Structure 1
Amino acid sequence: MKGYYIYCAFSMMLALYVYDNHSAVSLFLLIVLFIFQWLQCPRKVVIASALLSVLCVYLLAEANNHNKTVLLAESSTFTGEISSVPHSDGDKLTFKFTVQNEEVMAFYKLKTLEEKQQLEKLTIHQVCQLAGQLTSPSSARNLHAFDYQQYLYHQSIHWQLNVKRLDLAKCQLPTLTPLTYLTFIRQKGINYIQQNMSDPGAGFMQALIYGERTGIEEESIKRYQQFGLIHLLAISGLHVGLLTAMCFYLLIRIGITRERAITLLLLLLPVYMVLAGGSASVVRAVFMSMVMLISIKIQRKILLVDSISLAFMSMLLFKPYYLFDVGFQLSFAVSFALILSSQTILPRFHSSFSQLMAVSAIAQVSSLPLLLYYFYGVSLLSLPLNMVFVPLFSLVVLPLCLLILFVRIILPGVSELLEQILHVLLLACEKLLDFFEWIPADFVTGKPHILLFLGMYLCIYALFVAVEEGKFFVRYMFLLAALLAAQCMYPYLNPKGTVTMVDVGQGDCFIIELPYRKGVYMIDTGGTVSFPKEPWQKRRSSFDVGEDVLVPFLHSKGMTKVDKMIITHGDYDHAGAAQHLFSQVAVGELVLGKKAELNDVETGLVIAAQKQSVPVQIVQQGDSWQEGGVLFQVISPTGFEETSNNGSIVIDAKLGNLRWLFTGDLEKEGEQRILKDFPNLKADVLKVGHHGSKTSTSEEFVQHLNPKVALVSAGQKNRYGHPHQEILELLKSYGVYIYRTDEDGGVMYEFTKSQERFRSNFHSL
C-alpha cells in the first residue's frame, strides 16, 4: 500500500466527523473519497479504508460509552493520586487528581506565602487526601466561546474539584513504575529550571525542553500567538528532528556504530516523548522519527507521506479524541502540506533563503483556514516574522537551552554566561514584537462557514498542484483571496441584524449589529473587579472580560470596529472592560450620560478615548440618532439625578418588529420619572434594571410597559442574589418570558424584515 496510506487516514478522519457531528458535509466528502478510491486505487486500499473507518468509529463510540463519571457531586473527601505536574500561579494551585480511576481538575486557593512555599513541594503521583466540593466545568457561555467543558470531556474529565483542605503531611509517594518515574523526573527537571534560572529564560527553557508553557508570562504567550509564532513555544517535529540529529551525531562521534545508534534512539525517543509532556505534536513527531529510523535500520524506504499517515492513523486508533484537539489538527495540516510539497514544490527553490521563504509560506497557507476557524484571524506579519524567528529558535535558542541545562550540571560558572546570552536574545525578541505590535497588521475575518472553510482548503490544494506543475497558480491565489474577501464582505450583504446580551458574569453588555452592518453598538462592557493583592498572590494569567469574552466574541463575528460604545453609567460592572477594548478594537465614538460630575471610571475612559483620538459625546433625555432605518432615542438621564444608577443612559429603539428598552441600572425612582415624562412609553423587550435587584422593576413600570420579554444579565451564583425571586415572580405574573445569562448564557435576538427569533448559547428559545 505504498503511497496509499493517506487515503486511509483521510477516510478515518471524515468517518469520525460524520459520527460525532452528524455532518452532512463530511458524509458527502467521505462518499466522494470512497468513489475516488474505488476508481483510482487498488481494491485492498478501499477495503482497508472502509475497515479502518469502521474501526475508528467503533473506538470513538466505545470511548463515549465509557466516558462517564462514577463520582457523586455530594462527595466531600477524596483520596487519590496527583496525576499531573502541580502548577502554582500566584495564589492558585492547579493539578489533575485521580479518584476511583477518574481524573478531576483540582483547584486550590493558597492562603499564605508560607503555605505556597510548602505546597510547591507537591509532586506528581503523590497519594493525598483532599477535602473539597465537586462542580461541573463551565461550558461555552457565549457564541463561539471556548468550551471548557467539552475540552475536559475529551480528556475524560467531568468535574472540577474546588479544594478546601490540602495537607502536605498526608501526601505520600508510592512505588513508581518506569512510566510514572519518567513523569516524576519530568517534574523534577521543570522545577530545577524554575528554581535555578531567572525569567524569561526559565519559562522558555521549560517550554522548549519539557513542553511546559506555564512558566512563560501570559503577555509573552499572547504576543507570540498574535503574530502566529506560538508554534515555536511547543515541541514540534522540527524540535524532535533536531534533537534526534544532534544525538545521532554525538553517538557516532563517541564511537558507537550506526546501527547501535539507531537502536539507542529508538529506545530514547519514547522516553523523550514522556519527558516532553506527550502532546499531540510531540507524539506525531516522535512516531514519525521512529518510523524513519526503522526504515533506515531495516533498509526499506518508507515514504514520508506514509510515515505521517501511519502516525495520524495510529494516534486516532489509540485515542479518537485526538481529532478534536486544535494542536493535533494544526500540526498534521502543516506537516502534510510540507511533506507533500517536499518532493515537488520545494526543489524548485535553490537558495537557502528562498527555501526558507517557501517553507514558511506553505506552513502559513496550509494552516490559514484552521486559524480563521478557531482564532478568527491572522497577522499579516506572521510570514516575515516566521522567517526570522524559525531559524533563530531552531538553530540558536533551542540548542542554547539544551546546552545551558547540560553545562549547568557540570560547569555552573560557564552556564551563567550562556544564560545571559539567552536572556539578551529573548529580550531582543520581545522588543522586536513590541515594535511590530504598533503596526496595524491583524487581519480579522470572523469564523468562516464550514463550506467556505472547505472551499479554502480545496483552493489551497489546487494552488499547490498548480505551483508543482508550474501552471497558472496566480488564478488560484486570486480565488483564495476572493474567498477571504467574501468572508469579510458577507456581513455587509447580510440582511440579518442581531441584539446580543453577552454573558459577562455579574455585569451588563449588549451588542447591537444592524442589518447590512450599518452600525455596531455596544451598550456597556461589563468588567472584572480586582482587589489589591500581595506580590506573591498576583497571577501570570488573570481573567479579563474585555480580553477573554468581548474581543473573541467581536472577532468571531468579524467585527473590528464598534461605532458607538455607550456606557450607561460609571459602575465598574458596566464600564470596567472599556479601556481594554480601546486598545483591541476601533471605537467610533464614546457615549456617556450627562451628569454633574464624572466618577473616576468615567474620567479614566475619557482620558483613554482622547489618547486614541476617539470623540466623546455626552447625551441626555431628548437626544437621538438614526442609522439603518432604526431610531435610537435617549429618554434618560436629565443630568440632575441624585444617584449613579438613576443617572443611567436609557435607550428606546425598535429593532426588528420589537420595541426595546435598555435601562442600565435604573432603579424605581428613575422608572417613575420616565413614566411621568413618557406616559405613552411601551416596550416589547425590557432589559431589567440593576440585574434584577429589588431596587428596580416596579410593578407600575412593568404594568405600564407591558413587555413580552425580559432580559436579565447576572452572574452565576452571584453574592448579591440577583435576580431577586420577587422580581422574577412579578414578571411571570404579567406573562413576561424571562431570559437570564446566569441560566441561559449569552442570549441573541436575530431579526430580518420578515423573521425573528431568540436563541441562547445553550438552547433555541
Structure 2
Amino acid sequence: MLGSLWFFVRILLLDKRNLTMISLLLGMVITGYSWGLKNHLYRQQVTQTTEVRQHVVTIPGDQFHINGNRLTFVGRDNSMHQTVAGMAYLRDRYQVQQLQHSTMDMQITVDGQLQPLMPPTNTNQHDFRPRSYSQGISNQLLVKRIDNIRLVELSRLDVHYYRLLASRYFEHLPSPLSNYCAQLILGETVQQRDHDFQESVRRLGIIHLFCISGLHVSALVAGISLILTYCRITRETSEWLLIVLLPFYAIIGGQSVGLVRAVLMTEAHLIGRKYYQLSALDTWAVSLIGGVFINPWIFLGLGGQLSYLLSLGLQVFPKEWGNFRQSLTLNLLSLPSIVSFLYEVHWLTFITSFVMIPLFTYFVFPAVIISAITYRLLPGLASITNNLLLGIQRVLVTVSACPGMITFGKPPLIVAIGLLLVTCLTIDHHWHFSYFALGMTYLIVFIMIHYQPLGEVAFVDIGQGDSIIIRTPFNRRVSLIDTGGKLQFSKATWARPIDASNMAERTSVNYLKSKGIQRIDTIYLSHHDADHIGYLASFIKNFKVNEVVVPSGMEKQRVVHQSIEVVSKPPIVKPVVANQSFPTGLTCLHPFTVGKGNNEDSLVLWGHFGKLRFIFSGDLDQQGEQAVLHRYPCLRADVVKLGHHGSKTSSNKKYLAALHPQIGIVSAGRHNRYGHPNQETLSTLQQLRIRKLSTQQYGMIRYRFCGPYSYWTTTLKGDELSWTLKPSKSN
C-alpha cells in the first residue's frame, strides 16, 4: 500500500496529464482485477463436504510430492473445472517408486471428498489459505480411493515440462547444492532433509537471505548480456530479448515472491530506459504494483513482506554505506515482520547477517547458478560449491545452537506497523537519540507481551488428544497438562511419512512463543497414551521445563525418558499420588496408588483460576470417576474437561451431577475414527444442562481472567467447520 501510494504521488508530482491518467486507469484496473479474483475464488468454495465419484484429476509432473505412501498434489479437477489441492495414500511400493521417478503428467480417477480450505483453529496459528488462493486453489480434495493412475506425456509447450526437466536435473546434483538450485531457480520448497538447516536459518533470523534471493536474477541478466555481447548482438537487441524472456523465466521459476519482484524490477528498469528513465525507487514501486496484481495476498506472508521491504531498503541506501551499516539497517527493517511471524530473534542475528549477506550475494548465489549450469562439463566445480555449502550449513547449525534465543512474542498488528514506522524514522535520521528511542520502543512492547495482566486456561485444538495451557497473571507460573500426540498405526517402512514438524509445534508451541513464553514450570502428563504425551519432546526442546509430573508408577517408563532426554539437561520427573498440591495452583486428586500409567491410572487435577473451579481428568474411566467422588464427596467444579475425549467410557452421570459444572470441555479430533464425543455423553450433558464446548467446533477455547474480571473466548465462532463434524458413534 505504501509503495503504491508513493508511486502515484510521484506520478502526480511530475505534472504530466497523460501519465497521470494512465496511472489512475492502471490503479483502477489492478483494484478491479484483484477484487474480481478474490470473488471468483470465494464463489468456487464449497460450503459443505461434497462427495465426488470417478473424478478425473490431471496433475502436472512437477506439482505432486510423495512422502512415504502419502501423495500430496495440486491438480485440475476436470469434472469440477477448478484447481484443487489434494491428498491421497498410495496402495503399494511399486506405485510409489513409479511416481517418484516419473517425468510425466499424471491423471488419476478418484473417489473422495471435496472440502473447503481449513482455517487456522488456534490463536496465532499460521493461516495457509492465502498461499492456496495465490495458486488459484479454493478447495481441497481428500482422496478415499484411487481407481486408476495414468501417466501422460507432457507437451513441450507446457511450462511444467521445463520445470520438471530442471527439477529432475537438479536431483542429480549433490546435496545441499540440489536443494539450493531447486529453491533459487525453481522456487520449490526445501526438502525434508534440510529441515535442520532451515530451522537454523529461522532461529538466527537470517531468513531474509532467501527472501531477497531474487538477487540472482541480476546475475543471470549480467551473464546473458555478456554472452549476447560476445555473440555480437547489439545492446538494444539484447535488452529486448531480456524483456521478452524474463517473464517466461518467472513462470518457469514458480513465480516465487522474490523472483517475481526481481523480474518486475528488471523489466521496469529495461523498459524505463527506453521510454522514460525511472529511478530505483520508482522501479521498486512498479514491481510492487505488479506483484499485487499477480498475487493480491502477497503481503499476508513473511516472504512477501521481507522481499519487498528489504529490496526497498537496498534501493534507498546511499552508495557510500558500507556492509556493516547495510547489514544493521536490513536487520532493523526485517525485525518487525520477523517477530510478528516467528516470535523469536537470536542475539547473534546481526553478526551472522553481517557475514552472510555479502557472502550469499557475491559468492553463494552466483556459485550455485554457475555450478548448476556447468555440472555436466565441470562436476568438480559443483563438488567444491557443495562442500562450501555444507561448511556454511554446519557453521549456521552450530551458531544457532548457541544460547541467546530471545522469545519476543507476537506484537499486535498496529504495534508491528508502529515499530516499522519508528524504524524507518530512525534509519532516515540516524541520530543516536533515535536509536535509543527505537530500543526503548521495543523494550516497552516486549514488556507488554511478556507481562500481560490476564491469566488464562487454554484448551488447545491439538486434534485427537489433550493439551491444556495454564498461565497465571503476568506469566508468573506457566504449566501444561498433556502435550497431545499422534497415535501411530503399524505401517511398512516404505510407507511411513517423514514429518519435519508436528501438530504441537504448529499449535501449542507456536502459541506459547507468540505470548513470549520461554519456560514452562511444570508439564503434567495424565497417563502414557501417545495422544496425551506424544509431543513431549517438542516442548522439552523448545522451552526450559523445570519438572515433569506423572502419575506414580509411570516415572520409569521408557517413553517418558526418551522424550525428556532430547536435551543435555532434562527436567526432573516427579511421580505423584492424590492429595499433593503444586505451586502452579493445581491439586492432584488421583491416582490413589502406584499404577502403570494406563487410563485407569490417569492423573486428575483440580484448580481454582479466576472465578471458576476446573477439573482435568485425562482418560479416567467411570469407575475411577466414582472413586474420586467417593474420596472427595464435597468436590465441586464449574468447568470439567470431559474424560477420554467425550467417550462413553468416561463422564459418569452421577459424577457430573455431583460436581455441578456449568461447562463441559471436549478435546477431540475432527473426523476421528472413534466417533468422539459419544452420543451417550452428549445426552448426559444435555440432561444435566451442562454447556458443551468442543475444540472440534470452536478450535482453541480460552478462559481469561484477572481478579474479578474474566471472560471466555474461542478462535472459531462455531459454525465455520460444521462440514468436519461427524455423527457420534457407539464408542
Same fold, TM exceeding 0.5? yes
Deviations 1:42-93 (A, max 9, x none): 6979988877666554433322322222778122222343255322233222
Partner of 1:120: 100
SS in 1 for 2:152: coil
Answering whether residue 75 of structure 2 is matched by residue 97 of structure 1, we say yes
Partner of 2:640: 686
Partner of 1:250: 227
Q: What's the CA shift for 1:403?
A: 2.8
Q: What's the CA shift for 1:11?
A: 9.0
Structure 1 residue corresponding to 2:244, chosen from 267, 278, 286:
267
Answering whether residue 569 of structure 2 is matched by residue 612 of structure 1, we say yes
103-112 or 279-288: bigger deviation: 103-112
Q: What's the CA shift for 1:508?
A: 0.8
Counterpart CA distance in 2 for 1:215 and 1:56 is: 35
SS in 2 for 1:141: coil
CA contact 1:103–1:157 (8 Å) conserved in 2: yes
Partner of 1:25: none
Alignment of 1:518-537 (within 5 A): 518-530=476-488, 536-537=494-495
Q: 1:148 to 1:52 in 2, by over 3 A?
A: same
Answering whether residue 112 of structure 2 is matched by residue 132 of structure 1, we say yes
Partner of 1:622: 579
CA contact 1:86–1:122 (8 Å) conserved in 2: no
Counterpart CA distance in 1 for 2:412 and 2:682 is: 38
368-377 or 117-126: bigger deviation: 117-126
Counterpart CA distance in 2 for 1:478 and 1:141 is: 39
Q: What's the CA shift for 1:541?
A: 3.3
Structure 2 residue corresponding to 1:395, chosen from 349, 352, 362:
362
SS in 1 for 2:671: coil
Answering whether residue 698 of structure 2 is matched by residue 716 of structure 1, we say no
CA contact 1:526–1:575 (8 Å) conserved in 2: yes
167-176 or 663-672: bigger deviation: 167-176
Structure 1 residue corresponding to 2:183, chosen from 201, 204, 207:
207
Please tell me the residue identity of whatever aligns with 1:637. Answer: P
SS in 1 for 2:507: helix
Q: 1:641 to 1:228 in 2, by over 3 A?
A: closer
CA contact 2:105–2:151 (8 Å) conserved in 1: no
CA contact 1:646–1:665 (8 Å) conserved in 2: yes
Partner of 1:753: 707
Counterpart CA distance in 2 for 1:128 and 1:9 is: 47
Partner of 2:292: 316
Counterpart CA distance in 2 for 1:747 and 1:592 is: 25
CA contact 1:78–1:131 (8 Å) conserved in 2: yes
Q: What's the CA shift for 1:295?
A: 3.2
Q: What's the CA shift for 1:259?
A: 2.1
Q: What's the CA shift for 1:209?
A: 2.3
Q: What's the CA shift for 1:314?
A: 2.4
Please tell me the residue identity of whatever aligns with 2:310. Answer: V
Alignment of 1:396-475 (within 5 A): 396-409=363-376, 411=377, 414-415=378-379, 417-467=380-430, 473-475=431-433
CA contact 1:508–1:525 (8 Å) conserved in 2: yes
Counterpart CA distance in 2 for 1:248 and 1:11 is: 29
Partner of 1:549: 507
152-161 or 118-127: bigger deviation: 118-127
Partner of 1:676: 630
Alignment of 1:257-656 (within 5 A): 257-298=234-275, 300-341=276-317, 343=318, 346-347=319-320, 349=321, 355-409=322-376, 411=377, 414-415=378-379, 417-467=380-430, 473-491=431-449, 493-530=451-488, 536-595=494-553, 598-605=556-563, 607=565, 611-626=568-583, 631-641=585-595, 644-656=598-610
Counterpart CA distance in 2 for 1:703 and 1:407 is: 76
Counterpart CA distance in 2 for 1:729 and 1:319 is: 48
Q: What's the CA shift for 1:160?
A: 1.8
CA contact 1:97–1:103 (8 Å) conserved in 2: yes
Counterpart CA distance in 2 for 1:272 and 1:54 is: 28
Please tell me the residue identity of whatever aligns with 2:188. Answer: E
Counterpart CA distance in 2 for 1:605 and 1:70 is: 41
- Give the TM-score of the pair, scaled to structure 1: 0.86
Partner of 2:44: 69
Please tell me the residue identity of whatever aligns with 1:244. Answer: V
CA contact 2:69–2:91 (8 Å) conserved in 1: yes
Gap regions ≥5 residues in structure 1: 13-33, 350-354, 468-472
Counterpart CA distance in 2 for 1:596 and 1:639 is: 12
Q: 1:455 to 1:43 in 2, by over 3 A?
A: farther
Q: What's the CA shift for 1:319?
A: 4.0
Q: What's the CA shift for 1:733?
A: 0.8
Q: 1:543 to 1:529 in 2, by over 3 A?
A: farther
Q: What's the CA shift for 1:386?
A: 2.4
CA contact 1:711–1:739 (8 Å) conserved in 2: yes
Counterpart CA distance in 2 for 1:480 and 1:123 is: 53
Q: 1:309 to 1:528 in 2, by over 3 A?
A: same
Partner of 2:615: 661
Partner of 1:18: none
Q: What's the CA shift for 1:569?
A: 1.9
CA contact 2:212–2:306 (8 Å) conserved in 1: no
Between Structure 1 and Structure 2, the one with more helix by share is 1
SS in 2 for 1:494: coil
Structure 2 residue corresponding to 1:163, chosen from 143, 149, 164:
143
CA contact 2:205–2:349 (8 Å) conserved in 1: yes
Give the fraction of aligned pairs with identical amino acids, expressed as a percent: 28
Q: What's the CA shift for 1:522?
A: 0.7
Counterpart CA distance in 2 for 1:37 and 1:204 is: 39
Counterpart CA distance in 2 for 1:528 and 1:224 is: 28
Q: 1:249 to 1:757 in 2, by over 3 A?
A: same
Please tell me the residue identity of whatever aligns with 1:510. Answer: I
CA contact 2:554–2:575 (8 Å) conserved in 1: no
Counterpart CA distance in 2 for 1:697 and 1:743 is: 20
Q: 1:493 to 1:131 in 2, by over 3 A?
A: closer
Please tell me the residue identity of whatever aligns with 2:64. Answer: P
CA contact 1:85–1:123 (8 Å) conserved in 2: no
SS in 2 for 1:500: strand
Q: 1:41 to 1:474 in 2, by over 3 A?
A: farther
Deviations 1:709-728 (A, max 9, x none): 01111111212222111011
Q: 1:336 to 1:642 in 2, by over 3 A?
A: closer
Please tell me the residue identity of whatever aligns with 1:726. Answer: E
Deviations 1:120-157 (A, max 9, x none): 35557655544433233322111110123454244432
Could you say what the CA RMSD is over the residues aligned between the two structures, in angstroms?
Answer: 3.0
83-92 or 122-131: bigger deviation: 122-131
Counterpart CA distance in 1 for 2:210 and 2:417 is: 28
Structure 1 residue corresponding to 2:198, chosen from 214, 218, 221:
221
Counterpart CA distance in 1 for 2:372 and 2:148 is: 30
Counterpart CA distance in 2 for 1:707 and 1:487 is: 38
Q: 1:624 to 1:202 in 2, by over 3 A?
A: same
276-285 or 212-221: bigger deviation: 212-221
Partner of 1:736: 690
Q: What's the CA shift for 1:176?
A: 5.5
Q: 1:7 to 1:715 in 2, by over 3 A?
A: closer
Q: What's the CA shift for 1:286?
A: 0.4
CA contact 1:568–1:574 (8 Å) conserved in 2: yes
SS in 1 for 2:374: helix
